[in-house]
């Protein structure tokens, strides 16, 4: 599932579409449930003939700010890729893969295509970004996200630290891959009760989260299954992960076997030696 580094990679890939105008919108007839809140026809009407003024990201959401039109105020096209969604910029004759659910034709003749094997992704047209994204925690790579703020959030929670990292209201954009990787980098056991982390451990985790996310963006995201970037190419961070889906393999740091457990119903990968249960 695409997380912050994957969505940010797509955002950067699509940034050059700023200034383009959406001329036509086609929604596949079997994909109407990906359009949220309005009918596919109303959705197409509301975003057509608007210029893309900006492409931003909040957590795992992409936000296209679309210009005002004929006296109507500007709107936002919000996209959440969920499990198998992808958003690629193609020439009209280009092959962007099967499962295309929505095609946005642009004024230079190219197309922005939304594809989704499982059709679990979501597209909204809203007046304000908050109407689509809801209440999200701080962006982990912004200045708002400090070690103190993270420690404060953790202190209020009795859940395992891994489960708290996945809570989008605490930090926006982290999913299963980068939660496991950040906890390994911080040498913290995923089942540690969040409220028991010391200020020092929270600082370690804060630093680890930022480093892991930045490294993954540098490698253009992780393609374990379906993820592709804004041009349809795979990322390479899946080759660099230290614990995620490395069950039974040797830890790169200590040589112990990477273990897999369930935390809050999610598969969780960690090194039992580098991430001991007890505090150190």
Shortest spacing between CB 127 and Zn ion, in angstroms: 49
Residue 3 catalytic? Answer: yes
Query: Residue 195 Cβ, how far from Zn ion at the closest point, in Å?
Result: 25
Stretch that binds Zn ion, among 13-21, 43-51, 193-201, 265-273 (CB under 5 A): 265-273
271 lies in the binding site for Zn ion (CB under 5 A): yes
User: How many CB atoms neighbour CB 22 within 10 A?
Assistant: 22
266 is catalytic: yes
Buried-state track 198-229, b at ≥16 Cβ within 10 A, e below 16: eeebbbbbbebbbebbebbbebbbbbeebbbb
Largest CA distance in the chain: 64
Bridge partners (DSSP) listed for residue 103? 26, 113
240 is catalytic: no
Active site residue 214: no
Spatial separation of the C-alpha atoms in residues 87 and 85, rounded to whole Å = 7
Site for Zn ion in 232-261 (CB under 5 A): 251, 253-254, 256
Our CB check for Zn ion shows the closer of 231 and 253 to be: 253
Report CA-CA distances (Å) from 223 to 54, 110, 177, 239: 26, 25, 11, 9
Q: Which residue is nearest to Zn ion (CB)?
A: 251
- How many angstroms separate the CA atoms of 159 and 165, rounded? 10
- State in angstroms the smallest separation of the CB of 262 from Zn ion: 20
Residue among 2, 5, 138, 190 flagged as catalytic:
2
Q: Which is nearer to Zn ion, 141 or 261 (CB)?
A: 261
**Cα 212–chain centre separation:** 14
Query: What secondary structure does DSSP assign to 189-243, as a single string?
Result: -TTSBGGG--HHHHHHHHHHHHHHHHHHHHTT---SSS---TTS---SGGGT-SS
Catalytic residue of the set 50, 58, 60, 246:
60
Measured from the CB atom, the residue of 215 and 257 that comes closer to Zn ion is: 257
- How far from 22 is each of 5, 32, 62, 71, 90, CA to CA, in Å? 26, 19, 16, 17, 14
The answer to whether 185 contacts Zn ion (rule: CB under 5 A) is no
Span near Zn ion by CB under 5 A; candidates 117-125, 164-172, 185-193, 264-272 = 264-272
Kindly state whether residue 186 participates in binding Zn ion, applying the rule CB under 5 A: no
Query: CA dist 159 to 163, 199, 244, 249, 260, Å?
Result: 6, 17, 21, 28, 18
Closest CB 218 distance from Zn ion, rounded Å: 23
Per-residue x/- mask for Zn ion, residues 59 to 98, rule CB under 5 A? ----------------------------------------
With binding defined as CB under 5 A, does residue 17 bind Zn ion?
no
Give the count of residues interacting with Zn ion (CB under 5 A): 7
Using rule CB under 5 A, residue 52 touches Zn ion: no
Residues with catalytic roles: 2-3, 60, 266
Residues making contact with Zn ion (CB under 5 A): 251, 253-254, 256, 271, 273-274
């Amino acid at each position: 599932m695409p997380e912050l580094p994957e969505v940010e990679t797509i955002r950067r890939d699509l940034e050059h579409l700023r200034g383009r105008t959406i001329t036509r919108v086609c929604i596949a007839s079997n994909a109407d449930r990906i359009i949220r809140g309005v009918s596919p026809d109303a959705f197409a009407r509301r975003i057509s003939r608007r210029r893309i003024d900006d492409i931003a990201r909040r957590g795992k959401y992409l936000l296209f700010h679309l210009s005002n039109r004929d006296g109507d105020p500007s709107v936002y096209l919000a996209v959440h890729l969920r499990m198998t969604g992808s958003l690629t910029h193609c020439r009209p004759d280009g092959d962007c893969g099967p499962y295309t659910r929505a095609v946005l034709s642009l004024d230079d003749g190219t197309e922005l295509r939304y594809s989704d094997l499982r059709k679990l992704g979501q597209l909204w047209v809203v007046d304000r970004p908050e109407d689509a994204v809801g209440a999200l925690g701080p962006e982990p790579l912004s200045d708002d996200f400090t070690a103190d703020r993270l420690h404060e959030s953790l202190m209020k929670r009795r859940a395992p630290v891994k489960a708290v990292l996945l809570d989008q209201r605490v930090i926006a954009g982290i999913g299963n891959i980068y939660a496991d990787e950040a906890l390994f980098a911080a040498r913290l056991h995923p089942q540690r009760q969040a409220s028991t982390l010391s200020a020092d451990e929270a600082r370690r985790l804060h630093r680890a989260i930022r480093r892991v996310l930045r490294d993954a963006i540098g490698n253009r995201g992780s393609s374990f299954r379906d993820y592709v970037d804004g041009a349809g190419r795979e990322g390479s961070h899946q080759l660099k992960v230290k614990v995620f889906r490395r069950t039974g393999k040797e830890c790169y740091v200590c040589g112990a076997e990477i273990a897999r457990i369930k935390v809050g119903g999610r598969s969780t990968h960690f090194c039992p030696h580098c991430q001991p249960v007890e505090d150190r």
